[in-house]
Structure formats: structure tokens, C-alpha cells
Amino acid sequence: MTVKMQGPKGHGGLSHAGVSYEPGEDGIIEIPHEAVEPAMDHGFTVVSENTEGQGAGDGDLTKMKKADLLAFAKTQLGLDLDAALTNKQLIAAIEAAQTAPASNQSPAEGQGAGDGAA
């Protein structure tokens, strides 16, 4: 599986594990899933994943590798999940975030009881 990522403005591409990935005219590079986390460390964001169907929203989470799950959670849902979690735990957190009502709070932060609201 490959992942399309948009680099920061003016980037000249990415090099990972001795392989250089040059951007197209649109500034997008296509890289293997192993390079997603290092690319994110350099300001790249996930644009799309090259999978069949419509991606993670159509139940494909179980086919994604850990790096892809972490990247999807961070770029699409704003979740900064722990890489020590299992794929099953990552999928559960992503699904919970996708079904949760929109708010500025991630599911991991919880809904504090006794916050003064009546």
C-alpha cells in the first residue's frame, strides 16, 4: 500500500531508507506506508491512501498497517495515539472518534464529571 502526502510549502521531496521521493507538480509525493511517520515528522500530511474502495471510512481499517492507522488518526481526526497500542486498540480509538459527536475534545481526554455544568 502507498500513501499520498502533501509536503510543506516549497518542499523538494523526501528521502527515506535511501530512496528519494520527488513531488509532482501538485507538491504531492507517493510513499510506502513505512515512510509515513518520518514524513509526518517533516511536516507532510496524508492526502489519501492507495487502497480499494473509499479508504478507512468504509471499514478498511483492519487492512491498514500500524503506521497507516497512526497517520490516519493524526491527520484526519486530530488524534495523537500511542504507537505502543495494538492495531485493534488503534482501530477502536479511531472508530470511537469517528462516531463521537463533534467537539474540540478527543475521546481519550474524556468528558470530565463535575465540571461545574448543571
> Does residue 117 lie in a domain region?
no
Instruction: Grade residue 110 by pLDDT with cuts at 50, 70 and 90.
Output: very low
Mean confidence (pLDDT) of the chain: 76
Name, in order, each residue with C-beta under 8 angstroms of 87's C-beta and a sequence gap of 6 or more: 62, 64, 65, 66, 69
Please name the residue that has the C-alpha cell 467537539. Answer: 103
Q: What is the pLDDT of residues 63-89, one digit of tens each?
A: 888 888 888 888 778 888 898 999 889
Q: What is the pLDDT of residues 13-70, one digit of tens each?
A: 889 889 999 988 888 898 888 888 888 888 888 887 554 433 444 447 888 888 888 8
Contact 86, 99 (CB under 8 A): no
> Does residue 63 lie in a domain region?
yes
> Does residue 113 lie in a domain region?
no
Number of domain units in the chain: 1
Q: How far apart are CA 68 and CA 75, in angstroms?
A: 10
> Does residue 27 lie in a domain region?
yes
Give residue 37's domain range: 2-100
Q: How far apart are CA 38 and CA 101, in angstroms?
A: 31
Q: How far apart are CA 12 and CA 69, in angstroms?
A: 26
How confident is the model at residue 49, as a pLDDT? 59
